[in-house]
Structure 1
């Protein structure tokens, strides 16, 4: 079988596995990324790859150049997050986010690397390399929990903004340390200058290309061309910066922010929906491939062999993040920074600091960095099993322990606004459902003549009285908490608009009206959908 057909077959099987995991994860309410990790481990442990067309996966992984992992996965993953983050909210918290993403990451890498070096006796260069790979955060799962529980918007912006930029800082540190390992020479002064050069250079390229593509996109009305241009921007900004030996990661993030603010915001509702849908799917697919590939790459036995180092590494990274977050937050809260950069005197409550520490989950980026390690250096080849297993283990523990307990922390700290209200509302809805089901059962018993009319009337009254009682309680809750009504109204209106859209498609298929009429009305519906979801 040709190499091309093997790659196509591999891609199809990966998509099948990804879809299966997504369905199962939703059914059992397991975080999707955790499901992918489990699936990768299962396939690897039981050697199922020989049965599902993945026999060549490990060979392919060793043959693929490290730069390919950077070029394929990083731009797409970073661009999608940057494009959807509002610059207005980001700018209001830019001082805190910048401090966390630059000083915080440097401090976290040093602390975590030191713990690994002194406790596990790992060489300095390897311990710092591992720390730089794991420290960047990926809070997608946490942000979805934030949204459900009504966490203050500023806290969500802090976590998401810090994550977006600490990816760039972490990768720059990773590449500096990797360069040290590959060349065997390093100068602190030269390293600092190199760091500043690649970051500023990437920033300038991202600003220029983001602005240029934004101007072009705003003058084009074709959705497919707009999507194509954003794809060119994501990967082009990365490649241009890398070609000039600057930070492709910073370039991608900045270009994504610029095009999201100056380009996409000015487009029609239909274009916004199309572009957002495309990049949401691209992010989902890239993340899925990364998590599955790392599971397949891993030797499951190594997880048991390196269990203690994994636990120590997890604690070390968490300890490093805690020190950096609490220290920087303390400085920010003590200093009046209202005259620095912005007019906002930023303040981070202690409860929020706890959430920022525990909510810093690790994910896809750490996996990409692990897969990108070159196999040409003897030191890296020697330490590769340890590095891959440790990174995977820490990400796994992060998703399992932090990802599944963050909601409880929010409730414990009193940050979640919606939980108690929603619980009471769900409780009354469940009671109403229970009584209505009983009413239907009574009706069924009456029709089958299992009970007399007198008993039917007697028990029917009890159920209907209970239904009325729950309806009154639900009405009181809605009156007392307008947010419940707002959510219901939003859900109803979205459902109605989607039914309008489906009806238009159905009507066109049946020949009730022309395609032009359908497209015109669908544009109107899409515009309303975007308006509803932006407010």
Structure 2
């Protein structure tokens, strides 16, 4: 009759995904990337508690060992990195406008490259000091590997959070743009550090030339495959063939890049950008809308599946008090490192930093939520012989950082947004009101924006209360004697400049 193991696993995980998704939607109403892993983790805790409760019962028996063994056997890396990630990237790339990339390529490029490296280095250094203080030393390269894995941002939950508030278009573009290219750089950096840990003698020059070749070859593959897909789209316009062409575009570009030892995520993203920004010339607008709807649905299914699996990873983590405390400290260090890395990276580009909207970097730094890619990378290598002594720390810290970044950064982002973008409905009382007041302290300039639309429906960002620019920061009740109305008008024009990143 054959084995039904795969079908059983798929059925159970899909049932869990449906249950956690519905519970989150009806009860918590959190963004899926935040709510589903939390509910899955709670479900695992309940299941483990029930197993211990009915351990000696003749009526109900829950075999936790078998469940744990099944979870351990599941190849998270192959499922995500060598599997469905190409479809997740394609879903975003097809909808991402090249015009937005051209406008914001500098901040996106800085966030996805230099800031990523700085964050990994800061994180590894600070966490190394913490581990040394508690008497449980971990090799610096191992912590650098963890920092590289946790560099991958997950904008899916953040987009869900920002959709509930009036977020400016430029922030949405930068969050999504960073994720498209950040994941590729993160994987490349992760694999380079892993090779060094495994004993490869690699110089800085070798690393840089290798990364350049990976990116360059991936760019060429994405360009060629994307234009080939456009030619195919010209020949046939049935809905089924349109969907299959874009599916092959995702998996084909990714697979070719893997065979060429190039950056597969970048190849997939470039291919998607080429098609997504030119297919309106050869495909009807209604058909494009239908295909995008398919990709949006597929992305939702994959993410529900993925977030459920993240919660189930609790089965293979021995959460001791020391590990939980270390994980919380690692999250705080990661959060601090992202802020420091972003501000330092932009300090090297003063012409870009000067043009930033008030609070842009603070919001982007806070919005660096970690997701499935970070955990998948760690799960894939934690049991390697050279990393096996640190497997509990690697998996435990990564899991706690991913979970806390969703809860703290994801759910707290609207309040950080309110500190810089005026929201009359912001919480003013209770615990959330106190938290909102704390967030307002991040706005050192005390300048808030308001988002409006002009007569053509275009977004316009203007200063909510220009008179705040005349107030003395040390004595808010007194006007600043050195600032004239003309000075304030000049400052307002600079702050409201639509060319700001």
Q: RMSD of the alignment, in Å?
A: 3.0
Query: Residues 112 and 317 of structure 1 are in contact (CA less than 8 Å); yes or no, is this contact kept in structure 2?
Result: yes
Q: Tell me the residue number matched to 2:232.
A: 216
Q: 1:346 to 1:73 in 2, by over 3 A?
A: farther
Q: 1:37 to 1:149 in 2, by over 3 A?
A: closer
Distance 1:63 1:361 in 2: 24
Distance 1:212 1:52 in 2: 51
Q: Tell me the residue number matched to 1:33.
A: 33
Distance 1:145 1:373 in 2: 32
Deviation, 1:329, is: 3.3
Aligned length: 415
Task: Please tell me whether residue 164 in structure 1 is matched to residue 172 in structure 2.
Answer: no
The one of 110, 113, 121 aligned to 1:99: 110
Q: Tell me the residue number matched to 1:241.
A: 257
Q: 1:212 to 1:348 in 2, by over 3 A?
A: same
Say which structure is richer in helix: 1
Query: Residues 10 and 53 of structure 1 are in contact (CA less than 8 Å); yes or no, is this contact kept in structure 2?
Result: no
Deviation, 1:264, is: 5.5
Query: Residues 211 and 262 of structure 1 are in contact (CA less than 8 Å); yes or no, is this contact kept in structure 2?
Result: no
Q: Tell me the residue number matched to 2:404.
A: 397
Q: 1:399 to 1:378 in 2, by over 3 A?
A: same
Distance 2:80 2:159 in 1: 26
TM-score normalised to structure 2 length: 0.76
Q: Tell me the residue number matched to 1:319.
A: 336
State the secondary structure of the residue aligned to 1:302: coil
Q: Tell me the residue number matched to 2:101.
A: 90
Distance 1:183 1:84 in 2: 41
Unaligned runs of 5+ in 2: 52-60, 132-136, 428-451, 458-501
> Once the two structures are superposed, what CA deviation does each residue of 1:467-505 show, in whole Å capped at 9, x if it has no partner?
xxxxxxxxxxxxxx889xx9xxxxxxxxxxxxxxxxxxx
Deviation, 1:2, is: 4.0
Distance 2:281 2:343 in 1: 36
Query: Residues 327 and 397 of structure 2 are in contact (CA less than 8 Å); yes or no, is this contact kept in structure 1?
Result: yes
Query: Residues 145 and 407 of structure 1 are in contact (CA less than 8 Å); yes or no, is this contact kept in structure 2?
Result: yes
Q: Tell me the residue number matched to 2:203.
A: 187
Query: Residues 100 and 166 of structure 1 are in contact (CA less than 8 Å); yes or no, is this contact kept in structure 2?
Result: yes
Query: Residues 70 and 372 of structure 1 are in contact (CA less than 8 Å); yes or no, is this contact kept in structure 2?
Result: no
Deviation, 1:149, is: 2.4
Deviation, 1:267, is: 2.2
Identify the range of structure 1 (350-359 vs 285-294) with the bigger mean alpha-carbon deviation: 285-294
> Once the two structures are superposed, what CA deviation does each residue of 1:265-294 show, in whole Å capped at 9, x if it has no partner?
752233223321221222222222222223
Distance 1:228 1:107 in 2: 40
Task: Please tell me whether residue 351 in structure 1 is matched to residue 359 in structure 2.
Answer: yes
Distance 1:229 1:346 in 2: 43
Higher Cα Rg, which structure:
1
Unaligned runs of 5+ in 1: 338-344, 424-480, 487-535
Deviation, 1:215, is: 2.4
Query: Residues 290 and 368 of structure 1 are in contact (CA less than 8 Å); yes or no, is this contact kept in structure 2?
Result: no
Task: Please tell me whether residue 13 in structure 1 is matched to residue 38 in structure 2.
Answer: no
Query: Residues 44 and 311 of structure 2 are in contact (CA less than 8 Å); yes or no, is this contact kept in structure 1?
Result: yes
Q: 1:379 to 1:221 in 2, by over 3 A?
A: same
Q: Tell me the residue number matched to 1:385.
A: 392
Task: Please tell me whether residue 108 in structure 1 is matched to residue 119 in structure 2.
Answer: yes
Query: Residues 80 and 279 of structure 1 are in contact (CA less than 8 Å); yes or no, is this contact kept in structure 2?
Result: yes
Q: 1:218 to 1:383 in 2, by over 3 A?
A: farther
Query: Residues 57 and 296 of structure 1 are in contact (CA less than 8 Å); yes or no, is this contact kept in structure 2?
Result: no
Q: 1:163 to 1:346 in 2, by over 3 A?
A: farther
TM-score normalised to structure 1 length: 0.71
Query: Residues 38 and 403 of structure 2 are in contact (CA less than 8 Å); yes or no, is this contact kept in structure 1?
Result: no
Q: 1:56 to 1:228 in 2, by over 3 A?
A: farther
Query: Residues 135 and 170 of structure 1 are in contact (CA less than 8 Å); yes or no, is this contact kept in structure 2?
Result: yes
Q: 1:250 to 1:240 in 2, by over 3 A?
A: same
